[in-house]
Chain A
Amino acid sequence: MTDRTRVIPDRLQSPLERHLKSWESLLILVAVAVFVANSFASPYFLNAWNLSDATFNFTEKAMIAFAMALLIISGEIDLSVASIIALASTAMGAAVQFGVDTPGLVLIGLGVGLICGAFNGFLVTVMGLPSIVVTIGTMSLFRGISYIVLGDQAYRGYPSDFAFFGQGYVFWVISFEFVLFAILALIHAILLHKTNFGRAVYAIGNNPTGALFSGIRVARVKFILFLLTGLMSGIAAICLTSRLGSTRPSIAFGWELEIVTMVVLGGVSILGGSGSIVGVVIAAFVMGLVTFGLGLLNVPGIVMSIVIGALLISVIALPRLWQKWRG
């Protein structure tokens, strides 16, 4: 089922041709089309502040999607990310009740993210368990702990300077979250595309046994990727909690689906081994613009989720149908 055959062509494509035919340029076309369609569909779309608001639809999810992209390229997956957000947010909310200040809250958010990531990484790399089941388990475990702590209550009363992370603006309409999104995108792009570590991630995704025999510490790399995903979930938890100003156990419910969709839409192979951060960045914009545009047209959230689900299946199905049709 997962056999991938590679055909070596007689002649290499020119770089220009390769770029034009790439998944990323197709995505850019889609993004532009969505942008144009939106600006015709709603008179409120082309407004700097509205567009700035629209970025909040994807910045927090995209931060996790970058790390998730690396994880999926290496052949693993983490479905517990949304639950890590819930647990980190609950921990920060609980700390507020003890009068912890903003730097302390940030440390707690990052720390919980790292611990959760380490827990996933331990179960997968040390215990040798399949990541899909492990993270389905930790998905209920982490959110379950939030439910035990909070029940049907909510934490509020975050310090006023904590609001900056989710509501602050760095310059005019450029939000702090958007700047953070750009910086994290750059860091992940360099990590994946310009370092030995990044090459190891691709190698593991393509052939874990081969990677092991060429001297890559497969378990360690995977563990670091789970840590990274946990850390990004912690950062997203800080931004989201700061933006909402409250914590309920159902916070960020169902985000894992949107994040995986974003990664797959960005051209990362769900079987591992290929993909790029640029693709994920453009996919984030596409999804953000689609949901924002539908929102302006008063489409309810659950109907948008049909669009997301269909998008997830069709971005994988369409290329395969195309290949089949061409024989």
Chain B
Amino acid sequence: MLKRLLTSREALLAAAIILLLAVISTRFPAFVSPQNLGNVFNDTSPLILLAIGQMIVILTKCIDLSVAANLALTGMVLAMLNVAMPGLPVPIIIAIAISLGAVLGMVNGILVWKLAIPPIVVTLGTMTIFRGLIFVISDGKWVNSHEIGEGFKAFTRAAFLGLPTMSWIAILAVLLFSIVMARTTLGRSFYAAGGNPHAATYAGIDVGRTQFWAFTISGALAGLTGYLWVSRYAVAYVDLAGGFELDVVAACVIGGVAIMGGIGTVMGAMLGALFLGVIKNALPVVDISPFWQLAISGGAIIIAVALNSQANREKGRIILKRAEHAT
């Protein structure tokens, strides 16, 4: 049991992150100060939230390339709503963010479930449509910091027990979805639908509907992140979080989520996101141009997916071996 835990994907990834931090700390000790690590975690919180949603979608053999556009569209709607109605309390704003994001996710889900259109096509399409809609509603204009209300911005800046609210939301989401994925019927059906769709169907699971819920959850998390993003950076524009969907997929793949579905954990997705977050925050510190980041993400995706396919092949054999020893 202990051995399995230590050689697990998550443990290896955690070790890789610690090693990375150790290497950086040899030249830049300030980087690993608790306060800076807290900042890194807070910076990575949006990526963690989106990676959890993306992981659930990938579990069901789908992919959601529209998350960043969903985030940006929700963020823009909320920013414009805030300009129009400055008195709106934050809980209502968050409720609107989650519902709007969920509805956008449902659009993807319906197309995949009811019309059986391949998810990559659906989300490539909705990605551009959502981005286009931001331009249409905003007329291409920015909503700037001074136009956004103080209450709207204060939420992500408030701290609780030393950590900003955004970090707490990420931690809560990790805990909540760890429980949902391990302990609920819906959570298990995500694994079943992706692991073996035919067997899942015979077991009474509607695979299409499970995929629909996966897209809805991914959309809801993207909507929530949309509010957090605009609240934190206090700006909304058409290209907000442009290309971020690739980072989200990268975080999942690095976190050991199998792109063919059925394999992956919330913890893995979080660690994958943190791995990218540490690299992203370390680049300026170790004086490498931020232009390297895109290539590093791409390289990380390829290496991770290659490692995953090797690991999963091994895994099949090990399970058989263990079964043999048991008898």
Please give the residue numbers on chain A whose beta carbons come within 8 Å of chain B beta carbons, in ascending order. Answer: 1-2, 77, 123, 127-130, 132-134, 136-145, 147-148, 151, 249, 254, 257, 260, 264, 270-271, 300, 302-303, 305-306, 308-310, 312-313, 316-317, 320-321, 324
Contacts and interface: CB of A to CB of B under 8 A. Distances in A.
A145 B293 CA distance: 10
Contacts of A128: 309
A94 B121 CA distance: 35
B128 A309 contact: yes
Contacts of B67: none
B129 interface: yes
Contacts of B63: 132
A143 B299 CA distance: 11
Contacts of A303: 132, 135-136
B135 A309 contact: no
30 contacts: A1-B116, A129-B305, A130-B259, A132-B120, A133-B249, A137-B250, A137-B299, A137-B301, A141-B302, A143-B294, A144-B297, A144-B299, A145-B295, A147-B294, A147-B295, A151-B289, A257-B124, A257-B128, A302-B135, A303-B135, A305-B131, A306-B132, A309-B127, A309-B128, A312-B124, A313-B125, A313-B129, A316-B115, A320-B117, A321-B115
A149 to B, nearest CB: 9
Given A148-B292, A306-B132, A140 B118 contact: no
Q: Which DSSP category, helix, strand, loop or mixed, fits chain A's interface?
A: helix
Nearest to B117: A316
B125 A312 contact: yes
Contacts of A127: 306, 309
A148 to B, nearest CB: 5
Contact of B118 (A144, A148, A271): A271
Give 9 nearest A-B pairs by CB, closest first.
A144-B295, A141-B298, A140-B298, A306-B132, A137-B301, A144-B294, A309-B128, A137-B302, A313-B125
A133 B136 CA distance: 31
Nearest to A141: B298
| Most interface-central of A130, A139, A144 (chain B CB within 10 A) | A144
Contact of A148 (B250, B253, B291): B291
Contacts of B259: 130, 132-133
Contact of B126 (A2, A77, A300, A313): A313
Given A270-B121, A313-B121, A313-B122, A141 B295 contact: yes
Contact of B302 (A123, A147, A148, A309): A123
B111 to A, nearest CB: 7
A136 B246 contact: yes
Contacts of A1: 61, 116, 197, 207-208
A260 B127 CA distance: 14
Interface of B: 61, 63, 111, 115-118, 120-122, 124-129, 131-133, 135-136, 140, 197, 207-208, 238, 246, 249-250, 253, 259-260, 289, 291-299, 301-302, 305-306, 309
A116 to B, nearest CB: 12
B305 A137 contact: yes
Contacts of A302: 131-132, 135, 140, 238
Contacts of B132: 302-303, 305-306, 309
Q: Which DSSP category, helix, strand, loop or mixed, fits chain B's interface?
A: helix
A145 B305 CA distance: 20
Contacts of B253: 133
Contacts of B299: 137, 141, 144
Contact of B128 (A139, A249, A306): A306
Nearest to B253: A133
A250 to B, nearest CB: 11
A89 to B, nearest CB: 16
Contacts of A148: 289, 291-292, 295
A134 B126 CA distance: 22
A249 B208 CA distance: 40
Nearest to A140: B298
A270 B118 contact: yes
Given A133-B301, A145-B295, A302-B132, A309 B125 contact: yes
A278 to B, nearest CB: 22
A305 B128 contact: yes
Given A140-B301, A271-B118, A305-B131, 5 more contacts: A136-B301, A141-B299, A148-B289, A306-B128, A313-B122
A324 B259 CA distance: 30
Nearest to B246: A140
| Most interface-central of B118, B289, B302 (chain A CB within 10 A) | B302
Contact of B125 (A136, A142, A310): A310
Contact of A312 (B115, B121, B294, B309): B121
| Most interface-central of A130, A264, A302 (chain B CB within 10 A) | A302
A147 B291 CA distance: 5
Contacts of A321: 115
Given A309-B126, A312-B125, A130 B246 contact: no
Contact of A139 (B127, B197, B246, B309): B246
B115 A320 contact: yes
Contact of A142 (B120, B260, B298): B298
Given A130-B260, A309-B127, A136 B291 contact: no
